[in-house]
Structure formats: C-alpha cells, structure tokens
Amino acid sequence: MRVLSIDAWLMQKEDHDLHRNHLSSIDSSVSVIVKELEEKGVYISSLESLNLPRTTELILQSSLLRQELDNSSLGNSDGNQYAVVAPSTEFVKYCDIYRWGLNTFLLKVVENYLKSPVAYGFPSFRLHRSKFVSEQDGYWHFDREDKRMLKVAVYFNDVTEDGGPFEIFDRQSSSIILNILKKHYPFLGPYKPLSHRNLLKLIPTSLLDNLKSFTGLQGTVIFFDPVRLFHRGKPSTQVDRCGIFYSYYTRTPHYPFFCGPGHFSEKHRHYLAENLSDYQRECVFWRNELNPIQKYLLTV
C-alpha cells in the first residue's frame, strides 16, 4: 500500500508539473474566481450571474427531482430521514443536472485552480428535511478524496440562518483546527467528523469569530475547496433545504475510491456524455486511465 501511495503521488506530481505550462487560457471572469479561491478558499456567485448554458434545464429538472424526493422514500436506503440523497441513477433521467457541472466555464475555473487536468466527480443532490433534524446531523469535517479539490454548491431554495446554510472556517482557522484534530485523534486525524457540540469542546472560542455562514437566495452558487476549509451544512431547523454539490478532482486523486459512485455503469456514463466535447468527455471518463488497484483500493 505504501508503494502504491508513493507511485500515485509521483504520478500526480508529474501530471501537475506537465500541465502547469498547458493550462487553458482564461478570461477575466475566470481569473477573478481563481484568485479568490487561492486567497480565501471560497467564492460566492449565483446562477443568474454565471449565466451558463443548461441553467434553465438545471432549474427545471432540479424542481422535478426535488418533488420526487419529497413525495417518496427515494434515496432513503440508509434510513436517514433528514438527509435524502438522490440515487445516482436519477441523473440518467435528469441528465441536464449532471451535464450542467461540465460547463466549459466551470471546468476552466477548476483546471486553473487545481493546476491539473480535471476529473469530474458525481453530483450529490440532497434534500434536508427540517422536521427530521437531530443533533447527529450537520457534522464538521474536511473532505478526503484528494490533496486539493473543488466543489460547487447550488441552493435550490432561499436559505436563511435557520434553513441550513453552508458554514466554513476561514483558511487560517481551518489550519489551526486541523492541527487540533491531529493531536486529539492521531489515527483519524483530519477525517474525524465532529458535531458542533464536540467541536466547541476542542477549539478556542475565539475561532468562532472566523466562522462564516453562507445564507443566500435560491440560485446562490458557492465555489469552495473542501480539503482546505473545515466545513459543514448547518442543520436545517425551520425549512427544508435543497441543493446540489458538484465535485472536481485531479485525474490522479489521493483516494479515488471516494470520488463518486465508481459502480455507475459505463453505459450510463456514455449516455450522459453524449454530444459533449472531447475535453468534457475526458473529464467524465478519467477513471478509465487508472489501474484496477487505484480504482478500488484505498491509498494511504
């Protein structure tokens, strides 16, 4: 496993070094987002401001999918009634939700932030139902899939402070919390999820001044690096929250096993990739370039 980990790291480093000189050209609107991500790890926009292709379809199909989640037990296979996650097969039916995340503009932002060819993960469409919320929901955590990654979250309803806003600690505070977690949980380290109550027992109260809660109107879009920022979805206590998370990695992620549903069939992937550009298809089929061990075993 150590040999595999070293081999994966060397592949990733070589991939990054070769790609730095071949980054896609970017306009000012992309560079503004990338600069903000580099400095703060987060950038806030909206569907209206981005004005990307397939946005009308995204909104329509997301509304239909939400209705399905609201009116059935779809997605409740793990018994969690609060966080209902749409099965990956739903994106075959609502394919524009999946394809919106492959907009060339978004891929350019990701590529220039990661400084690496882009691996498109799988969207996570979630409905959080306030009447089922409990103290066990809304854990603080760092993501683990890669050494550096990007997520794009979209709100599909107005999100108030009681409606489950996305929350993060700033870069400096996240680094402090990371060191605290490594000290208190030597085995799990930064991957130890914490309830808000347990977090307050570990960190200096002064760090709470650097906690940012992202309330926003329907259509709010949040770009953020979940590896570098300690974050959570605050439990929604008053109204339901509906949103989607798009995930992007390098083509040689540190933990490929966690990078979306690897069991999703090639037939479905090819259907979702129909009429996409060669560049977009490379972002979809990046797993095909991994060897079998990298696909299914965890590297440490």
pLDDT at position 54 is 96
What is the CA angle 158-163-165, rounded to 5? 85
For residue 262, give the H/E element and its range: none
Q: What's the CA gap between 58 and 219, in Å, rounded?
A: 11
Q: CA distances (Å), 63 to each of 69, 185, 209, 293, in order?
A: 10, 41, 36, 39
> pLDDT tens digit string along 183-202?
998 877 778 899 999 999 99
Q: What's the pLDDT at 26?
A: 66
Question: What residue spans of the chain are helical by DSSP H?
Answer: 2-20, 28-40, 47-50, 55-71, 90-93, 95-100, 104-114, 171-184, 196-202, 266-272, 278-284, 292-296
Q: Are 129 and 81 in contact (CB under 8 A)?
A: yes
- Confidence (pLDDT) at 67: 93
Q: What is the pLDDT of residue 300?
A: 41
The pTM for the full model equals 0.88
In this prediction, the residues of the chain whose per-residue pLDDT falls under 50 are 1-9, 16-18, 20-22, 299-300
pLDDT of 73 reads: 62
Q: How many Å apart are CA 46 and CA 40, to the nearest integer?
A: 18
Angle, helices 28-40/104-114, rounded to nearest 10 degrees: 40
Contact 143, 184 (CB under 8 A): no
pLDDT reported for residue 1: 39
CATH superfamily of 2-296: q2cbj1_9rhob like domain (2.60.120.620)
Extract the tokens encoding 215.
């309330």
Please name which of 41, 11, 255, 290 lies closest in space to residue 143, comparing C-alpha atoms. 255
Per-residue model confidence (pLDDT) at position 214: 97
Q: According to the model, what pLDDT value does residue 3 have?
A: 46
CA-CA distances (angstroms) from residue 193 to 128, 138, 189? 19, 10, 10
| Domain spans of the chain, in order of start | 2-296
| Measured distance CA(42)–CA(146) in Å, rounded | 17
Looking at residue 74, what is its pLDDT? 62
Spatial CA neighbour of 202 closest among 222, 185, 188: 185
Contact (CB, 8 A) for 138 and 196 = yes
